[in-house]
Structures are given as C-alpha cells and as structure tokens.
Structure 1
C-alpha cells in the first residue's frame, strides 16, 4: 500500500505547512536574486501519488526547465524544481538581462538558470531543515530541459529510487505584470517518513 494513503488529515496539514514555509523562503530568495520586491501567490500545496506529478506541469510531453537534486542526511529523498519555458525565459531576463528563445540558449544562459534553481531549491530545503531540526544536505543539483515525463524518469533513475508520493508546491511569483510560475516537488524515500514526522512531533506508524 502506498504510504500517502495512510496519512490522516493532521499529517497532510503538517506537510502543507512545510510547503507554505518553503515557498515563502524561495520567494524571499527570488526577490534578493532579481533585486526587486515581488509578490507571491498563496501556494497550492498537495500530496499526490508520484505517477501524477507530470500532470501538474502540463503533462508528460510538456517541455520544461528542471533543477533536480538528491536530499541526503536524516531524511533522504529527491527534490525537483520545474519551470515552464515562459517562466524560465522571464526569470532569466530579470536576473541577467538576457532575452533569448530557449532554442538560442547557450552555456551562459544554462549556467545562470542552473544557479537560480540551485538558490531556490536550497532556500526551500533550508526551511525544511530549520522546521524539522533535521540534517538535510542537497547533492550537487543537475539541470535539464526536456519533456517533463523524460526528466522525471531520468532524474529519479539518476538520483535513486522514488518514494510513493510527492509533496507538490505550486506557486506564482509576481513582479509588476510578469509572472514566474514554479513547481516544487519533494519526494521522500519511504523509510524517511517516520523520521520526518517524528521530527515534527507527529505520531506516524509506517507499519499500520
């Protein structure tokens, strides 16, 4: 049986609170990155079966920009930060002044997006570590531009096996009339769930 199906409403609420705090930290990091005040839409936080993750970003054939990493330490898992192409182009323009179509991106543009994704995922992971008081260390992030289904399959193969569910955090960051829509996915390893919930003071019996 999938672990997410064993959660009670209180456990879902805890995961949603983690998602809200993480998205807030990412918004602060993004504001510093572009050196402008930004507004953040209230994140939509859900827990879904892993096989539904691609649907959240437009389907398995949608072309996206993704930064993915492995979470090591007390509670292991995988993390993805996914941007649609329009959002990635706008973010790149805000930070670097570069305004190119994705087909024209070269090493400079790829490197800049990689670093931005690194900062945003790092801010989210730091907030999770602070909230749980767990030691959570990111691997060196990788960046890919491809169809969502291919990225998720390859990323999880490269990072190690997947968990049964994903904590999804969909939020939009607004600067003026422009919008950057990002998707965070935290996919804990099944054996990490007891550690994660106990760190939050939530009883969790993975054997029931």
Structure 2
C-alpha cells in the first residue's frame, strides 16, 4: 500500500493516533512546565513533501526543525517543526523567560531538542499503546533555517522511500500563549501496512 492510496477510513485511524499522540504530548508538556496545557483537535492530512514548506509559511520562512529516525517494528522518520515565534515562545515558557528577541541562543536550541524529544516520544507512545509494536527513535537533530532548506534534506534523503508525508498539526495553549506544533511522519510504505494491519483496517 502506498500513502497516496489511503482511504478515509485509514486516515481516520491515523487521525485517532494523532489525537492520542497530541494528548500525550500536551500532558508531557504540562508536566515539563508545571502548568495546564490545552490542546485543539489535531489536523491530519497527507501531503506531497514539496508542499510542506508552504504549510510552514513559505520556503523562506524561518523554522526550527527537529528530526528523528524511527526504528524497530516500523521504520521511518519524524520531523517536529515550529515557526520561529512558536519556538521562542516555547523556550521562554520552558525556562521562565520573557525574551522578546526572536533569535534562538544555544540554551534555547538545547531546550528545543529536549522538548522535541519528549513530544515525539509522546506520539510514538501512542503508536506503541495502540499497536503493541516495539518502536524507538534516535537522538534528535536540530536545524534552524528557511523552511525550504530544512525540508530539502528529508526530501532528498527519502525520495526513494516516499514523496508523501503524514502531516499532524496541533495547537497547544497555555493561557493566552499559543504554540503551533507540526509533526511530519515520513514512513517507509511497509510500515503503513503494518500499522493499519495491527489496527484491523488494512
């Protein structure tokens, strides 16, 4: 099965995984911050990998991309992406700062890697709980650059696997503060079949 051949039932199942994962992520973030975090219902779509930069505000928009390799019973890759404003807001929330400077210093970058690690782990935990698969992810890599440049690496590296990505967008809120978190799953095609088989919809 290819990603583009997924029907609405398949996408509904993947959306439910996204819902559970986003809930886990909100809980994990609330635990890190010691604050209540509200979450909007995630949006789940299948996108061409070339479309991702536009979703992020255009190819020249500066974003923070946190990248993981996924291995075990399924294979693939995850990118956790934030625009610069959400990145700075999240690190300010995490470290109790109120910096208006849009630049990310080394402490901010370290905090983003840790947040990405925890939030991506929350999504993987949702997959594990639903499928009973053995799944792990690698140590995170962080890139802060224009969206086109950040996405060019997986586009080139995984063009032989797929030109489609599973897009999950979640809004996390703490009071009036809003963080737009975007996850992109770049799987190999057998992994989609395994996931759907385990959930009885393939």
Same fold (TM over 0.5): yes
Q: Which residue of 1 aligns with 2:101?
A: 101
168-177 or 157-166: which moved more?
157-166
Q: CA RMSD in A?
A: 1.9
Instruction: Measure how far apart 1:194 and its partner are.
Output: 1.8
Q: Name the count of aligned residue pairs.
A: 201
- Per-residue CA deviation, residues 7-42 of structure 1 (Å, 9 max, x unaligned), is 222111111111111111111111111110011111
- Per-residue CA deviation, residues 79-123 of structure 1 (Å, 9 max, x unaligned), is 0111111111111111112325243x3322211111111111111
Q: Which residue of 2 aligns with 1:53?
A: 52
Instruction: Measure how far apart 1:130 and its partner are.
Output: 1.5
Question: Aligned partners of 2:201, 2:61: CA distance in 1, in Å?
Answer: 37
Instruction: Measure how far apart 1:179 and its partner are.
Output: 0.6
- Unaligned runs of 5+ residues in structure 2 are none
Change (3 A) 1:114 1:159: farther
Q: Does 1:64 align with 2:70?
A: no
Q: Which residue of 2 aligns with 1:21?
A: 20
* 1:78–1:162 Cα contact (<8 Å) kept: no
* 1:67–1:142 Cα contact (<8 Å) kept: yes
Which aligned pairs between 1:30-179 and structure 2 lie closer than 5 A? 30-98=29-97, 99=99, 101-103=101-103, 105-155=104-154, 157=156, 162-179=161-178
- Relative to the length of structure 1, the TM-score reads 0.89
Instruction: Measure how far apart 1:164 and its partner are.
Output: 3.3
Q: Which residue of 2 aligns with 1:193?
A: 192
Other structure's SS at 1:53 match? helix
- Per-residue CA deviation, residues 131-165 of structure 1 (Å, 9 max, x unaligned), is 12111110111011001121112245567854232
* 1:173–1:180 Cα contact (<8 Å) kept: yes
Instruction: Measure how far apart 1:193 and its partner are.
Output: 2.1
Instruction: Measure how far apart 1:178 and its partner are.
Output: 1.0
Change (3 A) 1:198 1:114: same
* 2:62–2:146 Cα contact (<8 Å) kept: yes
Q: Which residue of 2 aligns with 1:206?
A: none
Instruction: Measure how far apart 1:182 and its partner are.
Output: 0.6
Question: Aligned partners of 2:75, 2:177: CA distance in 1, in Å?
Answer: 35
